[in-house]
Amino acid sequence: MQNEYRYLKEVLSWMTNWCLIIGDVLFAVWIIQLVTQFEAHPSYPFLGLKGW
């Protein structure tokens, strides 16, 4: 029983770390686009959103 909890904790820890990395990358991309005044192509999926 304890091994199952240990495995679950390891999987959740791994998933959390990956989500944090993905979030950091997305935040960095958003900042870069904000600073460089990125202009979206009409095919950009989130055209209605502004970075500022």
Give, as one character, the DSSP assignment of residue 39: -
Instruction: List pLDDT tens digits, range 19-34.
Output: 999 999 999 998 888 8
What distance in Å separates the CA atoms of residue 27 and residue 51, rounded to the nearest whole number?
Answer: 11
Which of the four pLDDT bands, split at 50, 70 and 90, describes residue 9?
A: very high
pLDDT of residue 3: 77
Give 33: exposed, middle or buried? Use CB within 10 Å, 0-12, 13-18, 19+: middle
pLDDT of residue 4: 81
pTM for the model:
0.59
